[in-house]
Amino acid sequence: MPGGVSVASHMNEWEAKYQRGEVFWDRGAASPPLVAWAKAHPELLKGRVLVIGCGHGHDVAALRELGVDAAGLDISPTALKGAAERYPDVPADHWLCEDLFNLSPTALNAWDVIIEHTCLSGMPPEMRHDYSRGVLAALKPAGLIVGIWFISPDLDPGHVGPPYPLPVEALDTLFAETCTVIEDRVPKEAYPGREGRERLRVLRKN
């Protein structure tokens, strides 16, 4: 258990949120900076691509429309059921109900590209080491991590998350010893109200 937090209870909490329809993070469409980046860099989205914490699958569907062999992984069966209903053209075996912290053998070292968008921001800081370990376990050697990292979410007074703020300094240390940064910028594309509050960072596994 990372930092004394029960992984199982944390993930059960997300399943309960989907069952209750409490999905405030779902904007009903794919991440604008992710789509813009994917259109500009099709050469980097070859092979098998996995969207972690895919939720209702908007990013998966958008990438597949661009010709990317994208699949989605989520811990919540209810989220994946909703994804399959929203995007029936995505093959059923491309929706993977998995625990990123305890991946099945078929998901290990299996992916050329991992897509991050709002997955890490849903986890408390004490889970970040386990998150990075899971991502690296899923990724092939020299594979890419393409992240739309939610650096500065708005929080009500006294509220700590989710979403949890991710200082750039914390992002710097997350994969410092295991990956090389190949692109890093604040994207100009964003959901309304999220302008300037995300970081697009692409890393290559060493």
Which token pair is 161? 């998350």
pLDDT digits (tens, 9 = 90+) for 121-179: 999 999 999 999 999 999 999 999 999 999 988 887 888 888 998 999 999 999 999 99
- C-alpha atoms less than 13 angstroms from C-alpha of 187 in its C-beta half-sphere: 26
pLDDT digits (tens, 9 = 90+) for 167-194: 999 999 999 999 999 999 999 999 999 9
For 43-57, 73-87, 137-151, 152-166, which range has the lowest pLDDT when averaged over its residues? 152-166
Return d(Cα 49, Cα 60) in angstroms, integer: 9
On the question of a cis peptide bond just before residue 125, with omega within 30 degrees of 0, the verdict is no
Q: Note whether 18 and 82 are within 8 A (CB).
A: yes
Task: Label the pairing between strands 139-150 and 179-185.
Answer: unpaired
Q: What is the pLDDT of residue 161?
A: 83
pTM for this entry: 0.94
Which residue type, as a one-letter code, is found at position 166?
A: L
pLDDT digits (tens, 9 = 90+) for 60-69: 999 999 999 9
- For the chain, the domains span 2-19+32-205
**What average pLDDT does this structure show over 67-79?**
97
The CATH superfamily holding the domain 2-19+32-205 is: Vaccinia Virus protein VP39 (3.40.50.150)
